Amino acid sequence: MDASIISAIAALTGAAVGGLTSGIANWLNHRRQLRAQWLLHEKSRRQILYRDFIDDASKYYIDALQHNKADIASLASLYAKLSKMRAISSKPVIHCAEHVARKILDTYLEPDKSFVELREMAIDGTIDLLHGFSDACHDEFEELRSKQF
């Protein structure tokens, strides 16, 4: 075989390998960027849902502590958020959210609490219904962050 043909084939092969390597690197980089964007979007979506759930649950829990008649329409929005969580959240978050919702319903069946009793609950920490839920959300976000990098 002629040396010029071998040189030409080597040059073409080198160009093809270089182009293929560059193309694969670009594809992998683009894929990583898309995944990072998706994870950020997912995290933001969950943060909004969890924030709204915490706001509603706090409001309904205090109402349940002070009254024994529930506003069913308002509680429906809490359960709607819980259903959304079932579609996108981890099992620990869902489990904690279900516990919060059950506790709110059970609290409506208990006798009303006086301000003094509420103060005592605040002091001993028993009024903090959402602590476990918040921890589960934090753990889920940490897991999402580890997947991002």
* Mean pLDDT, range 89-111, rounded to an integer: 95
| DSSP character string of 55-71 | HHHHHHHHHHHH-SS--
Calpha distance 76→80 (Å, rounded): 6
* pLDDT surpassing 80 at residue 92: yes
Residue 17 lies in a domain: no
Report the predicted TM-score, pTM, of the whole model to 2 decimal places.
0.77
Residue 63 lies in a domain: yes
Residue 23 lies in a domain: no
Give the up-direction half-sphere exposure of residue 142: CA atoms within 13 A in the CB hemisphere.
Answer: 7
Looking at residue 146, its pLDDT comes to: 81
Residue 18 lies in a domain: no
Cβ proximity of 78 and 56 under 8 Å: yes
Tell me the Ramachandran region of residue 89: left when phi exceeds 0, alpha when psi lies from -120 to 50, beta otherwise. beta
Residue 100 lies in a domain: yes
pLDDT in tens, 121-137: 889 988 899 999 999 99
Calpha distance 37→69 (Å, rounded): 45
* Mean pLDDT, range 33-60, rounded to an integer: 91
Q: Which domain holds residue 139?
A: 43-148
Residue 85 lies in a domain: yes
Residue 13 lies in a domain: no
Residue 72 lies in a domain: yes
Counting the structural domains of the chain, the total is 1
